[in-house]
Structure 1
Amino acid sequence: MSTAAESAKTAEMAAVAERYGLSRSSARPEFRGYLRDLWGRRQFIYTYARARTYALYAGARLGSIWQLLTPLLNAAVYYLAFGVLLGTAKGIHNYPAFLICGMFVFTYTQRSMTEGSRAISTNLSLIRTLHFPRATLPLAYVVNELNQMFISMGILLVMVGVSDGLALRWFLIIPALLLQTMFNIGMTLIFARLGTFLTDISQLLPFITRTWLYASGIFFSIPDKLAALDAPGWVIHVLALNPISAYIDIARRALLEEHARHALPNAWPIAVGWAVISLVGGFIYFWRAEDRYGRG
């Protein structure tokens, strides 16, 4: 077909679309309408997240019991490696709870980002078959990890309750998890878009998150470690800007009374700032490529 014929056909189709009020199904929607559409799909997001959890453990003999065993086994391995063999438990009250709290918080963000980076690429058949806001897929991955986080935190609360007793400050874990969830949603949306067009990102993420793991004060107290090294005072303020360190810190403040003397400066304001920046930036970044997902 000649170029002139193609142009004529395109013009004819455009005229028909205008006459009947048709629009491109793949066109990027207006941002507010996109958010409304996402809210309307909230039941799908929750149902899809539950289906993923069921599928994950369906082939295992113990089934969903692994949701309890996995965080406990991970915590036991890290306690043996760092608390016992490397001696990082010295000077930290209730080190098992200190360590496990840090691991649970970090894992929530790590898995949200890692799984979310494959949210679009592993669901291309669904995307190409149905018309729906693509952000529902990475959001479902975050909901799935949040459900696991609730189970993990339940285990941790029982552990702290047995060792230290109940306390009203535990209610602070609610805003702490809310802020981290906002941060995780934004980061998951960012990596969902990156993982769609840069397929190697899912291979690179484990190395990025492993480096992040060792730099976030999960196994040791950052203030105590810097004090032992005679580091300048400004260093702790720089390290406190690490979002994961901030979310771990505010979770530990909520659960562990003795953590006050190991706490990072300005952890709550930093946690709020990162939550807002990540959530807003992540949504906008993902939405701007809405009409490109599923092509190719």
Structure 2
Amino acid sequence: MKSLLAWGKIQVSNVDKVILISQFEQKANHQNHLFGLFWEFLSPAIQIIIYYLVFGIRLNGQTIIHSDIPYIYWMLIGIIPWFYISSSIVSGAGSISRNLSLISKTHFPIEILPTIAIVKGLNSFFAMLGLFLILFMSQGFLPTLEWLQLLYYFPCMVLFLLALAVLTSAITVVFRDLQLIINAAMRLLFFISGAVVNVSAHPESLLTKVLSLNPLVYIIEGFRDALLSRGWFFDDPWRMVYFFSFLLIVLLTGIYITEKYESDFVEYI
């Protein structure tokens, strides 16, 4: 627990550094592009338009099973957090290994590297979510009280991604193949995390119960519960307990590995 408190203290004391570096990395990624940072808004807009054309117009607004919600909206609610989740998992896993030279030359707090990887993708996520909400409300889906749950599920998503980044970034330094494994696994996670497939369509089946153990399903379905007004997060307290228990185990394991092998990281340059 002391390690967790010390890690949290480092995060809080370096908030300004995390924000500045994440903004710098965003600008660096687009410095050679004509539209620069505007791609943070243009790229999400293009992706949303493509999915709308393919699934919305092509399927004539077909609804998902047992629901009066058009599939395109159901899918976008899941796929928008998925875009952020997938990019953050990949980026977070390599956050330390990409910066080993920085660690070896300066007294840089290694603990904030995974945090930077998670924070720098938020602009794109907010842009996509904002565009979707405009489209959603223009079709008559007005805000309800359940939308306030976004204030719960968004921190859940960020905290889980951060915990996962802390763990995978430490392991990737000594086992570089993990980065390739994660890249390949994202293709499978895309379908079993509920982004485009209704993994909870048959709640009594064994497969559904197994898939529900995936913390990403909790997050993505949570966004749908909020925006589709399907219920409240406290309606199923055991899932909430399971999610945060899983998150805490992942985070503590990541902190432990980082602390134990931090002094040896520079040997892997």
TM (norm. structure 2) is: 0.83
Q: Distance in 2 between matches of 1:76 and 1:284?
A: 43
Alignment of 1:99-138 (within 5 A): 99-138=75-114
Q: Distance in 1 between matches of 2:256 and 2:47?
A: 35
Alignment of 1:260-279 (within 5 A): 267-279=239-251
Q: Which residue of 2 aligns with 1:222?
A: 199
Residue 165 of structure 1 aligns to a residue in which SS? coil
Q: Distance in 1 between matches of 2:264 and 2:135?
A: 47
Pairing 1:250–2:227 present: no
Q: Which residue of 2 aligns with 1:74?
A: 47
Structure 1 residue 30, shift from structure 2 partner: 6.5
Q: Which residue of 2 aligns with 1:10?
A: none
Unmatched segments (≥5 aa) in structure 1: 1-28
Aligned length: 258
Structure 1 residue 112, shift from structure 2 partner: 1.3
Larger radius of gyration: 1
Residue 222 of structure 1 aligns to a residue in which SS? coil
Q: Distance in 2 between matches of 1:198 and 1:134?
A: 18
Letter in 2 for 1:115: S
Sequence identity, in percent? 22
Paired residues of 2:81 and 2:220 also in contact (CA < 8 A): yes
More deviation, 136-145/233-242: 233-242
Q: Give the 3 Å change call, closer, same or farther, for CA 100–287 of structure 1 in structure 2.
A: farther
Q: Which residue of 2 aligns with 1:5?
A: none
Q: Which residue of 1 aligns with 2:174?
A: 197
Alignment of 1:1-296 (within 5 A): 32-78=5-51, 84=58, 89-91=63-65, 92=67, 93-163=69-139, 164-224=141-201, 226=202, 233-257=205-229, 259=230, 267-296=239-268
Q: Give the 3 Å change call, closer, same or farther, for CA 166–136 of structure 1 in structure 2.
A: same
CA RMSD after TM alignment: 2.8
Unmatched segments (≥5 aa) in structure 2: none
Structure 1 residue 152, shift from structure 2 partner: 2.3
Letter in 2 for 1:205: I
Paired residues of 1:173 and 1:251 also in contact (CA < 8 A): yes
TM (norm. structure 1) is: 0.76
Q: Distance in 2 between matches of 1:242 and 1:161?
A: 30
Letter in 2 for 1:68: F
Structure 1 residue 76, shift from structure 2 partner: 4.2
